[in-house]
Amino acid sequence: MKASYGVQRVPLVLVIIAIGVVGVAALLMLKPRPTPHPEVDPPEPVVQIVRVNLEDRALTVETQGTVAPRRNIQLISQVGGQIVEAAPEFVAGGRFDQGDWLVRLDRRDYQNALARAESQLRDAERVLAEERGRARQAEREWRDLGNQQANELFLRRPQIAAAEAAVEAARAERNQARLDLERTEIRAPFSGRIRQTQADLGQFISPGSAIAEIYDDAVAQVRLPLMDDQAALLDLPLGTAIEPSERPAVTFSGRVLGERHQWQGAVVRTEASLDAQSRMLHAIAEVPEPFNTERHPAPLLMGLFVQADIDGRELDDITSLPITAVFERDRIYTVKETEAESGEAGGEKIVQEKRVRVLKVDGDRIWVKGPLTEGEAVIVDRQGYVSPGVAVRFPEEEASSSEASSVEGKTEHAADAEETPETPTEPGGADA
């Protein structure tokens, strides 16, 4: 009998899985792998710089104000009456000297009052003389009686005292009448000009009425607002007058009749308090003889708005930088330069932050004072791209690097040209 052996078949699913595994393994083995490259550091940022130049100098403080007179008052009549005469200068803008009469009132009522006061004084003096005569007579009579102690009333001493008081009262009335008569001629208390008139010829005015607004033209004043930083540049005393030899000079400039002029003055004092609204200190500057055209190029009119340049005190070790060098009000970036290990130039340049005191902004420049050294590099742009501790490069280094790369490229190109053999030309060339 012949034996039979059965053949065991592999399931199709296992065959497919085996093929897939082999395919995946082949793909993984044959997959291209990236070539490793060393990590390249980002290039150092290039920044623009300026070099610090320290100076000892005084800075000018710029401010502005309105010209005003030192004295400006209402001219008041102390007596009443009708204006019967006015001086030719009694007009708006009129010029007068101290003691000049401007307006005259009707004097007749005051002349009559003076006459009555003189009569009352004479009558009181007569009564006093009579009482003194009676007193002398009473004294003789009392002495003839041989009594050493006389009665005060008998000697008429109270009557004499009353008569003397009456004389003094009558004399005061007479003096007041004289004074009122003098006051009918209203005179200027100082030299100046009339800003505006408030009464005119023929008008009746009562005591206490204003007849004109006048101002003193001997000195013009300008109230100059100063911020705290500006006042520090001037070193002014607070709330007091300044000695004439120490007064800061001021140059005023303004436009009169279409032309710009300048006037010279000085700061004479400061106010004793800050302005409640602006929180600023005010300095008072004066210009003598503002209408004197021999002293000034043009009259300095009251009410004129002027620019003022005040000479500041001398400051040590300050420098001027482009305004773009300062950020966040008082911060700058400087560059700390180190030498290379070989001692040659080209060492690291590290950014460092410093705080400075801003003294004055002058157009596109700014004056500062701070911990700076002569020749120190200050970054003037791209502060947002750098930070303290970051290494930077200067534009001249970038240009030198580019030039060196260009020279190196030309050298390599020349070397390649020398190594490439020239193709020999067969004898005869194309003719052959």
Percent composition of the chain: helix, strand, coil (DSSP 3-state, to 5): 30, 35, 40
- Encode pLDDT of 182-192 as tens digits: 999 999 999 99
Q: Which residues contact 334 (CB under 8 A, 6 or more apart)?
A: 351, 352, 353, 354, 372, 376, 377, 378, 379
Q: Which residues contact 422 (CB under 8 A, 6 or more apart)?
A: none
What does the alpha-carbon distance between residue 314 and residue 285 come to, in Å, rounded to a whole number?
A: 20
Q: What is the mean pLDDT of residues 242-249?
A: 89
The reported pLDDT for the residue numbered 29 is: 75
More confident residue, 42 or 296: 296
Task: Report residue 315 as tokens.
Answer: 């400051």
Q: What is the mean pLDDT of residues 377-399?
A: 83
What does the alpha-carbon distance between residue 413 and residue 390 come to, in Å, rounded to a whole number?
A: 36
H-only helix segments in 306-368:
none
The reported pLDDT for the residue numbered 144 is: 62
Q: What is the mean pLDDT of residues 91-113?
A: 94
The reported pLDDT for the residue numbered 13 is: 74
C-alpha closest to that of 323 among 352, 362, 355, 359: 362
Q: What is the mean pLDDT of residues 265-286?
A: 90
Tell if the pTM clears 0.85, that is, is over it.
Answer: no
The reported pLDDT for the residue numbered 385 is: 87
Q: 19-32 burial, b for 16+ CB within 10 Å, e for fewer?
A: eeeeeeeeeeeeee
The reported pLDDT for the residue numbered 162 is: 87
Q: What is the CA radius of gyration of the chain?
A: 51
Q: What is the average pLDDT value for the chain, to the nearest integer?
A: 83
The reported pLDDT for the residue numbered 40 is: 64
Most confident listed range (331-345, 365-379, 385-399): 365-379
Please say if the pLDDT value at position 407 is more than 70: no
* 112 touches 197 (CB < 8 A): no
Please say if the pLDDT value at position 114 is more than 70: yes
Please say if the pLDDT value at position 6 is more than 50: no
Phi, psi of 388 (to 5 degrees): -55, 135
The reported pLDDT for the residue numbered 187 is: 94
Please say if the pLDDT value at position 14 is more than 90: no
* 192 touches 69 (CB < 8 A): yes
- H/E/C letters for each residue in 326-381? CECCCEEEEEEECCCCCCCCCCCEEEEEEECEEEEEECCEEEEECCCCCCCEEECC
Please say if the pLDDT value at position 195 is more than 90: yes
More confident residue, 195 or 18: 195
Count of C-beta atoms within a 10 Å radius of residue 57: 11
Please say if the pLDDT value at position 159 is more than 70: yes
What does the alpha-carbon distance between residue 335 and residue 379 come to, in Å, rounded to a whole number?
A: 7
Classify residue 87 by burial, with Cβ atoms within 10 Å: 0-12, 13-18, 19+: middle
The reported pLDDT for the residue numbered 421 is: 46
- Encode pLDDT of 203-228 as tens digits: 999 999 999 999 999 999 999 999 98
Please say if the pLDDT value at position 149 is more than 80: no
- Encode pLDDT of 53-83 as tens digits: 999 999 999 999 999 999 999 999 999 999 9
Length, in residues, of the chain: 432
Lowest mean pLDDT: which of 4-18, 341-355, 386-400?
Answer: 4-18
* 332 touches 325 (CB < 8 A): yes
C-alpha closest to that of 214 among 96, 305, 293: 96
Q: 400-431 burial, b for 16+ CB within 10 Å, e for fewer?
A: eeeeeeeeeeeeeeeeeeeeeeeeeeeeeeee
Looking at the DSSP assignment, which residues form a beta bridge with residue 369?
357
Please say if the pLDDT value at position 355 is more than 90: yes
**N-terminal to C-terminal alpha carbon distance within the chain:** 94
Q: What is the mean pLDDT of residues 147-162?
A: 69
